[in-house]
């Protein structure tokens, strides 16, 4: 049930990331063209590019976590089920610590920055920082799935 729910969340998240990435490319392209070809710098394009980049990085990190796409280094011998299980537990604990920092301190930072304004876009500066706790919340959802998969007995 959780896996199916997370599959739906992943699909929607990936679609949003593709839209955000396309918007980022268009924004940066417009910024470069306006500045270098037309000689008219659009101030808002830099702020919009930063906003989109922040969302793509932190939400994309959650997607990468679920896919297992973050960097790993293989230094232990393969085919050792006990060692594999122990290392998986260490990885889950490390992920939980990172998620804790992202959610708790990311939310604190977002609340602090919410009172500021991105003048060129006319929005709260908090929109630049809210992807930090949101990405952490998505990672938490995916961590619960990983914990469930680790706790279930594996079929031989």
Q: What is the mean pLDDT of each run of 10 residues along the chain (156 residues)?
A: 93 97 96 90 93 97 91 73 86 95 97 95 96 97 93 68
> Can you tell me the distance from the alpha carbon of 45 to that of 92, in angstroms, rounded to the nearest whole number?
39
Tokens of 96: 């939980």
pLDDT of residue 152: 80
Tell whether 130 is covered by a domain.
yes
Within 13 Å and on the Cβ side, how many CA atoms surround 34?
13
- Helix 81-100 to helix 131-151 angle, to the nearest 10 degrees? 160
CB contact set of 16 (below 8 Å; sequence gap of 6+): 59
Tokens of 44: 């808002």
Tell whether 94 is covered by a domain.
yes
What is the tally of structural domains in the chain?
1
Tokens of 132: 């930090």
Tell whether 27 is covered by a domain.
yes
Tell whether 44 is covered by a domain.
yes
Query: Phi, psi (5° rounding) for residue 118?
Result: -90, 100
Tell whether 12 is covered by a domain.
yes
pLDDT of residue 84: 83
Tell whether 156 is covered by a domain.
no
pLDDT tens digits for range 82-113? 888 888 899 899 999 999 999 999 999 999 99
- Helix 43-67 to helix 131-151 angle, to the nearest 10 degrees? 10
Tell whether 91 is covered by a domain.
yes
Computed on alpha carbons and rounded to an integer, the radius of gyration of the chain in Å comes to 20
Domain residues for 63?
Answer: 2-151
pLDDT of residue 155: 60
Number of H helices, E strands in the chain: 6, 2
Tell whether 67 is covered by a domain.
yes
Strand ranges in 40-130 using DSSP code E only, listed in sequence order = 117-118, 123-124
């Amino acid at each position: 049930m959780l896996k199916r729910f997370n599959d739906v969340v992943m699909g929607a998240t990936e679609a949003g990331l593709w839209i955000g990435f396309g918007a980022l490319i268009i924004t940066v392209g417009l910024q470069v063209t306006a500045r270098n070809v037309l000689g008219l710098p659009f101030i808002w394009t830099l702020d919009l590019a930063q906003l989109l980049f922040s969302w793509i990085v932190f939400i994309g990190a959650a997607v990468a976590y679920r896919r297992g796409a973050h960097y790993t280094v293989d230094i232990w011998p393969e085919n050792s089920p006990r060692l594999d299980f122990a290392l998986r537990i260490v990885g889950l604990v490390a992920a939980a610590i990172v998620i804790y920092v992202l959610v708790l301190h990311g939310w604190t930072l977002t609340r602090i920055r919410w009172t500021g304004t991105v003048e060129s876009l006319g929005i709260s500066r908090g929109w630049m920082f809210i992807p930090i706790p949101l990405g952490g919340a998505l990672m938490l959802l995916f961590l619960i799935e990983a914990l469930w998969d680790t706790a279930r007995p594996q079929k031989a």
